Chain A
Amino acid sequence: MKNFIPFLKNKNPEDQSKIFVPSRRDFLKISSLATGGFLLGVNFQCAGPKGEPITFAPNVYISLSSDNEVILVAHRSEMGTGIRTSLPMIMADELGADWKKVKIIQAEGDEDKYGNQNTDGSFSVRMFYEPMRKAGATARQMLINAAANKWGVDPSECTTENSQVLLNGSSKKVDFGGLVEALQTMELPDPATIKLKELSEYKFIGTDVPIYDAKAIVSGQATFGADVDLPNMQIAVIARSPVVGAKILSYDDAAALAIPGVSQVIKIEGAGIPPGLDKPLEGLAVLASNTWAAKKGREALVIEWDLGPNQSYSSAAQLQEMAKSTLKNGKVSRERGNFNSAKSSATKVLDRTYLAPYYAHATMEPPAVIADYRGDGSVEIWAPTQHPQWARGAVAGALGLELPKVKVNVTLLGGGFGRKSKPDFVVEAALLSKAAKAPVRVQWTREDDIHHDFYHSHSAQRIVATLDSSKKLTGWNHHTVFPAIGATGNAAELHPSSGELELGCRDFPYDVPNIRIETHESAAHTRIGWLRSVSNIHHAFAIHTMMDEIAEARGLDPVENALDLFGEDKNLTFEGELEGDFGNYGEKLEDFPWNTGRMKKVIQDVAAKSNWKAHKDAGKAVGFAAHKSFLTYVACVVIVEKDANGQLSIPEVHYSVDCGVGVNTDRIKSQFEGGAQFATSLAMTSAITFENGQVVQNNFDSYQIIRMPQSPKKIHVHILPSTEKPTGVGEPPVPPYIPALANAVYKLTGKRIYELPFKV
């Protein structure tokens, strides 16, 4: 697998935005249903980055059955964002389907069929809003044409509603199911005649639609990774290299094999250094007929490790080194004006250092995956994967199989947050199933998950801000240093990539005449990955707590300060200032401009809705921050107080968000509610540290997640009405929350926060 960062889709040509154009050639596909009905497949061909057609690709799949069922394919992974509901819902809305009669089936991983399935980077809705609408509208037009034909009327006189075609101004109607047969012999509509509905015509888009799987989840019937069961399946629990790069010198498995239920012990060859994003760690797997025996078996293993070059690694020592390096000149990634001259003429200089730790994803469901390698050289996988295509490719590579020999079924994901895009655990199961000649479920324990994650990098940052005699912010110098994601695949990468820097650092949006952004070297000693909002986490923390100090130094209210520093409404381009091009999360600036006016609107909105001024004037501890990420504009106000026991409590949070058209408004709200909770953990309870190359924390006792009593009590999400293109909301809630909370805590305690996680 080449070195790429899948969360930024422009970093890999394969992940380029694909423009969907209906293809007449492959448009209609009729197949027999087992039940005797008929399916109408609406297939879409997609065009590559330069408009060139990609071979047959039914990217979006709608089926209608003669018994009036509408079957929609969800091709993105469901990890809690509601995407398995929201994308089919868009198709259903265009189609005029009865939502109660919609059945959703999950697509297997197949790039040729479904296009991009990498569920990451908050881009599912952004990338697929338009194609899903086109799919639904095309199917609607076909149904209308069929009904109009039947009635001898003009198609323009017909509409669809509740899975029926209606003749306007009459009581005539026909079920979709009743038209399925007629569709088989029908002429295909010219794609140019397909008309999308107006926003005002939608019934579901822009409303609160419950998630499709809710009933199954609350009754314990939903299928997650570990819930798939196959006959004769073995459960594998693996002892993995305690230090990244460690190799097994020798082992004794006699005691493990003596445990009733344990069947075999199999070695997995690890990648060494660099560990790679898609490879397993070196390990010894104990296979057993049940999980308990496999766990006991692992405890009984005796393994002698060559711990390798990372065995003396201390994260605390590295963090100190990283902080020290920011005192020197670094590699400049963005330059505007002349920071040095701003500094020499400054009347006030704020010089602050910010530290943030490694974080583990700690998805509620630890990785678990089933592989069934069969005698005919094919393998079938059931995995809670965010990226089934990557998993498919990685398994094919590891087993030396052609892609068509690998089938990847996607289960529900018990949380993803970026962890489950990496296919290392899927490859483990595939290798073990082949070696054991049996279906194998690999079950990670929580300790495995905490010890062997692809961590969010720890970071040191230094920001120097200069003010002149008129209290104008004249200079901004941001040093950022953290082991890069790219180093997991290429140990020579010592600086963060431009992609990582555009996650809230070098895309610094404020109107400051002199800006310098620099990076410094730091090597990776573990597996670095991406965690919900990625480098935005630490960048937003540093930038917006510094902004709060700047506001104070300028004698301005933090909201006023931010509005002032955005200046006139305009589109930012960063032209002529950057080393390399501006990535804009993979989108063209013409399509998704960086508009300061939209940012100012969410700031004004959150100030109004949260009653910011009233709280502030009453001396309450309120904090503010605003941060755009993944093309979504977010402003956040956090209110804190001390409870009767002197503990910090967070009674209220307000978010204002501009994410373009809000598709499923309830799921937008739930992502923000969850984002605030997630960010509370990052801010106050969670940290991963390394000693002797090994992770110190083990489980939820030492890697702590916020619990209900400490969690924010009320989270208000204000979605600004918009007709702009929709953007994602999975990650954007996290970045502004942490500095808003830190700024509120400063108001409460008088102490500035420079290091995460912090205690009050």
Chain B
Amino acid sequence: MALFNLTINGKSQQVDVDPNTPMLWVLRDHLDLVGTKFGCGIAQCGACTIHLDGNAVRSCQLPVSAAEGAKITTIEGLSEEGDHPVQKAWLEHDVPQCGYCQAGQIMSAAALLAQNPNPSDTDIDNAMNGNICRCGTYTRIKAAIHTASKNL
């Protein structure tokens, strides 16, 4: 066990956990931020995607010890009112089916648009390749990313 100082959604937090604990479980089990989801635990599905200094990372593969000192954003902190352009576009296209993958999809999409405000279909394919949607909402995700790109 060790103490870690984390900056999550603009707030300083302290946790006392095993240094190998992935950020996913720190968020879910220790900080009650359960919007970030567990899907595979091996960086294959993207359900656990968060932002680390603005980059999309898989929190299931990010040990808490590597997250200290970085700015972490989770789905709960992406916007104040759930009104980030990506979230708004998601509502406009009514993207979610079961919804379980969507926090991860939205975090990946938001990171993509922050770096590339005008992505092509191929850019989107590449950026979203790590996010599985078992319900199969891919066509709407892509359309929503294009919409969000226009409304940035």
Q: Report chain B residues within 8 Å CB of A678.
A: 134-136
Q: Mark A200-238, 1 if CB is under 8 A from B, else 0.
A: 000000001011011101111110101101000001000
Residue of A with least CB distance to B128: A708
User: Nearest Cβ in chain B — how far from A300, in angstroms?
Assistant: 13
Tell me if A713 and B96 are in contact (CB < 8 A). Answer: no
Which segment of A312-320, A409-417, A620-628 sits at the interface? A409-417
| Residue of A82, A224, A291, A296 contacting most chain B CB atoms (<10 Å) | A291
Which among B20, B74, B91, B133 is the interface contact of A218 at CB below 8 angstroms?
B91
Is A353 positioned at the interface, with any CB of B under 8 Å from its CB? no
Tell me if A220 and B74 are in contact (CB < 8 A). Answer: yes
Which among A260, A292, A362, A413 is the interface contact of B98 at CB below 8 angstroms?
A413
Is A670 positioned at the interface, with any CB of B under 8 Å from its CB? yes
Tell me if A366 and B38 are in contact (CB < 8 A). Answer: yes
Tell me if A363 and B134 are in contact (CB < 8 A). Answer: yes
Q: Report chain B residues within 8 Å CB of A210.
A: 91, 94
Q: Report chain B residues within 8 Å CB of A414.
A: 37, 98-101
Q: Report chain B residues within 8 Å CB of A619.
A: none
Tell me if B25 and A290 are in contact (CB < 8 A). Answer: yes
User: Nearest Cβ in chain A — how far from B61, in angstroms?
Assistant: 13
Given A210-B91, A364-B135, A446-B40, A235 and B29 contact (CB-CB distance below 8 Å): yes
Residue of A with least CB distance to B74: A220
Distance, CA A211 to CA B96, complexed state (A):
8
Distance, CA A151 to CA B152, complexed state (A):
52
Q: Report chain B residues within 8 Å CB of A691.
A: none
Is B126 positioned at the interface, with any CB of A under 8 Å from its CB? yes
User: Nearest Cβ in chain A — how far from B31, in angstroms?
Assistant: 11
Is B120 positioned at the interface, with any CB of A under 8 Å from its CB? no
Is A674 positioned at the interface, with any CB of B under 8 Å from its CB? yes
Q: Report chain B residues within 8 Å CB of A413.
A: 98
Is A497 positioned at the interface, with any CB of B under 8 Å from its CB? no
User: Nearest Cβ in chain B — how far from A377, in angstroms?
Assistant: 29
Q: Mark B112-128, 1 if CB is under 8 A from A, else 0.
A: 00000000000011101
Distance, CA A670 to CA B126, complexed state (A):
23
Q: How many A-B residue pairs have CB under 8 A?
A: 189
Chain A, range 389-431, C-beta contacts under 8 Å to B: 412-417
Q: Mark A65-102, 1 if CB is under 8 A from B, else 0.
A: 00000000000001111100000000000000000000
Which among B1, B17, B20, B139 is the interface contact of A714 at CB below 8 angstroms?
B139
Q: Report chain A residues within 8 Å CB of B29.
A: 235, 290-292
Is A331 positioned at the interface, with any CB of B under 8 Å from its CB? no
The DSSP consensus for interface residues of chain A is: loop
Tell me if B97 and A674 are in contact (CB < 8 A). Answer: yes
Is A269 positioned at the interface, with any CB of B under 8 Å from its CB? no
Is A472 positioned at the interface, with any CB of B under 8 Å from its CB? no
Q: Report chain B residues within 8 Å CB of A217.
A: 96, 99, 102-103
Is A677 positioned at the interface, with any CB of B under 8 Å from its CB? yes
How many residues on the A side are at the interface (Cβ–Cβ under 8 A)? 65
Which among A218, A296, A365, A670 is the interface contact of B90 at CB below 8 angstroms?
A218
Is B140 positioned at the interface, with any CB of A under 8 Å from its CB? yes
Q: Report chain A residues within 8 Å CB of B82.
A: 215, 218-219, 221
Is A56 positioned at the interface, with any CB of B under 8 Å from its CB? no
Is B62 positioned at the interface, with any CB of A under 8 Å from its CB? no
Distance, CA A675 to CA B141, complexed state (A):
15
Chain A, range 287-317, C-beta contacts under 8 Å to B: 290-293, 296
How many residues on the B side are at the interface (Cβ–Cβ under 8 A)? 61
Tell me if B129 and A709 are in contact (CB < 8 A). Answer: yes
Distance, CA A670 to CA B129, complexed state (A):
21
Is B68 positioned at the interface, with any CB of A under 8 Å from its CB? no
Which among B18, B40, B136 is the interface contact of A700 at CB below 8 angstroms?
B40
Is A467 positioned at the interface, with any CB of B under 8 Å from its CB? no
Tell me if A292 and B21 are in contact (CB < 8 A). Answer: yes
Tell me if A705 and B28 are in contact (CB < 8 A). Answer: no
Is A604 positioned at the interface, with any CB of B under 8 Å from its CB? no
Tell me if A79 and B138 are in contact (CB < 8 A). Answer: no
Distance, CA A220 to CA B101, complexed state (A):
10
Tell me if B18 and A293 are in contact (CB < 8 A). Answer: yes
Is B42 positioned at the interface, with any CB of A under 8 Å from its CB? yes
User: Nearest Cβ in chain B — how far from A416, in angstroms?
Assistant: 8
Given A211-B94, A214-B94, A677 and B136 contact (CB-CB distance below 8 Å): yes
Q: Report chain B residues within 8 Å CB of A445.
A: 41
Tell me if A715 and B139 are in contact (CB < 8 A). Answer: yes
Is A711 positioned at the interface, with any CB of B under 8 Å from its CB? yes
Tell me if A364 and B76 are in contact (CB < 8 A). Answer: no
Tell me if B38 and A709 are in contact (CB < 8 A). Answer: no
Is A735 positioned at the interface, with any CB of B under 8 Å from its CB? no
Given A676-B136, A708-B124, A701 and B44 contact (CB-CB distance below 8 Å): yes
Given A365-B37, A700-B132, A673 and B100 contact (CB-CB distance below 8 Å): no
Is B75 positioned at the interface, with any CB of A under 8 Å from its CB? yes
Distance, CA A652 to CA B100, complexed state (A):
26
Which among A235, A293, A364, A670 is the interface contact of B94 at CB below 8 angstroms?
A670
Tell me if B135 and A80 are in contact (CB < 8 A). Answer: yes
| Residue of B30, B82, B94 contacting most chain A CB atoms (<10 Å) | B94
Is A707 positioned at the interface, with any CB of B under 8 Å from its CB? yes
Given A214-B91, A215-B82, A707-B129, A412 and B99 contact (CB-CB distance below 8 Å): yes
Is A468 positioned at the interface, with any CB of B under 8 Å from its CB? no
Distance, CA A260 to CA B38, complexed state (A):
22
Is A121 positioned at the interface, with any CB of B under 8 Å from its CB? no
Q: Report chain A residues within 8 Å CB of B135.
A: 80, 364, 415, 674, 677-678
User: Nearest Cβ in chain A — how far from B43, in angstroms?
Assistant: 9
Is B72 positioned at the interface, with any CB of A under 8 Å from its CB? no
Tell me if A674 and B136 are in contact (CB < 8 A). Answer: yes
Residue of A with least CB distance to B142: A708
Q: Report chain A residues within 8 Å CB of B94.
A: 208, 210-211, 214, 666, 670
Q: Mark B1-37, 1 if CB is under 8 A from A, else 0.
A: 1000000000000000110111001001110101111
Given A364-B47, A712-B139, A220 and B36 contact (CB-CB distance below 8 Å): yes
Residue of A with least CB distance to B32: A229
Which among A208, A292, A671, A705 is the interface contact of B22 at CB below 8 angstroms?
A292
Which among A260, A412, A700, A712 is the interface contact of B45 at CB below 8 angstroms?
A700
Distance, CA A413 to CA B132, complexed state (A):
16
Distance, CA A715 to CA B142, complexed state (A):
13
Please name 5 further chain A to chain B contacts, defined as beta carbons within 8 Å, in addition to the given A290-B17, A445-B41, sorted by A numbering. A82-B97, A226-B28, A700-B39, A700-B40, A707-B132
Q: Which 7 A-B pairs have the closest CB atoms?
A: A220-B35, A677-B136, A414-B100, A80-B98, A219-B82, A220-B75, A80-B97
* 18 A-B residue pairings within 8 Å (CB atoms): A213-B99, A214-B91, A226-B38, A260-B18, A290-B17, A291-B25, A292-B18, A364-B101, A364-B135, A365-B100, A414-B100, A670-B97, A670-B137, A706-B136, A708-B125, A708-B131, A708-B141, A711-B138
